[in-house]
Amino acid sequence: MAALLGGLSAAALAASPAELLAGYSAEAGVRGEPARGQAFFTQRHGQEWSCASCHTTQPTQAGKHAVTGKTIAPMAPAVNAQRFTDLAKTEKWFRRNCKDVVGRECQANEKADVLAWLMTLK
Amino acid sequence: MKTPILSLMAAMTLLASPLHAEEEERGERSRGARVPTLPQYQAECSACHVAFPAGGLPAASWARLMQNLPQHFGTDASLDPATTRQISQWLQANAASGRRAQDTPPEDRITRTQWFVREHHHEISSTTWQRAAIGKPSNCAACHTGAPQGRFSEHDVRIPR
């Protein structure tokens, strides 16, 4: 229920992961590269956390919030059909989490890489 | 992309009925959650932690927290302006009242209100708090089994070993 409700706050913009990836790739002018996405996701960027700190290095599995300990549903669309189906929600979490992990908002090419990698996971 | 309006309507249709049915089934209106939780509060805030009761903090604490969402206890919890406004208004309307309205805790942490400390102090030892399944006082749901539904009654407390 909570995950369903999540899409409601900012105007829900239904999409598929492939559509979001196409959008980020078009914005960046380059295709998302899974290997680069995996490196970006698992490495730290000069801050305390990496993406994997909460989402694990295998995002087909559930993660755990680094501060509260609350379970985070898997990020890989193959095992969690709700992931990357709402542009506003996707943008909200990229914005916040990139600030925490990278210290700035992510660029379109970085989002494309990460999403391309997550979409390869089965 | 699909039509945004249509998917929004579909989401709302899906959401509206089960939520109310669930509340009535659990009798939440009569005991525990006197204040129906704002759906936006539930969705946004409980993505990362249990939806803490609005009455757990004074209005001034909620106002500070909602003004500082980009620096929210070490993480960026920022929301779009409309959602921030809706949640803020709901928290202000349902913040702690009576004597507890003056119970402003350090760092605006519910767990550091005099009320919270008093309620838990005598019954919960420091070694209990440290159990792996609990970890820290803000992990309400570890013991308050109804916390995800906004119920914090003593009847629902199960302290994990």
**Mean pLDDT, residues A6-10:** 43
Percent of chain B at pLDDT exceeding 90: 66
Residue contact B76–A100, C-beta within 8 A: yes
A7/A75 Cα distance (integer angstroms): 15
Give burial (CB, 10 Å; 0-12/13-18/19+) of B133. Answer: exposed
Residue contact A100–B75, C-beta within 8 A: yes
Distance of CA B63 to the CA centre of its chain: 15
Nearest to B1 among A13, A65, A92 (CB): A13
The distance of B126 to chain A (nearest Cα, Å) reads: 19
> Is the confidence at residue B102, as pLDDT, over 60?
yes
pTM of the predicted model, to two decimals? 0.81
The distance of B40 to chain A (nearest Cα, Å) reads: 6
Q: Which DSSP helix (H) or strand (E) runs through A104?
A: none
Residue B149: CA count within 13 A, CB half-sphere: 18
Q: A15 near B2, Cβ under 8 Å? A: yes
**Those residues with Cβ within 8 angstroms of residue A10's Cβ, 6 or more apart along the chain or in another chain:** A88, A89, A92, B80, B82, B83
Model ipTM value: 0.86
Determine the residue among B23, B25, B69, B80 to mutate to test chain A binding: the one whose Cβ has the most chain A Cβ atoms within 10 Å.
Answer: B80
Residue contact B7–A96, C-beta within 8 A: no
Distance of CA B47 to the CA centre of its chain: 11
Count the residues in chain A: 122
Q: What is the pLDDT of residues B105-158, one digit of tens each?
A: 999 999 999 999 999 987 899 899 999 999 889 999 999 999 988 899 889 999
Interface of A with B in 73-92 (CB under 8 A): 87-88, 92
Residue A6: CA count within 13 A, CB half-sphere: 22
Q: What does DSSP assign to residue A11? A: P
> Is the confidence at residue A108, as pLDDT, over 90?
yes
Q: What is the pLDDT of residue B36?
A: 86
DSSP string over chain B? ---HHHHHHHHHHHHHHHHHHHHHHTTTTTSS--SPPPHHHHHHHTTTS----GGGS-HHHHHHHHHTGGGBTTB-----HHHHHHHHHHHHHHS--GGGGG---GGG-GGGSHHHHHHHHTT--HHHHTSTTT-STT-GGGTBTTGGGT---GGGB----
DSSP string over A36-77? HHHHHHHS--SSS--HHHHH-S-TTS-EE-TTT--EE----T
More confident residue, A18 or B8: A18
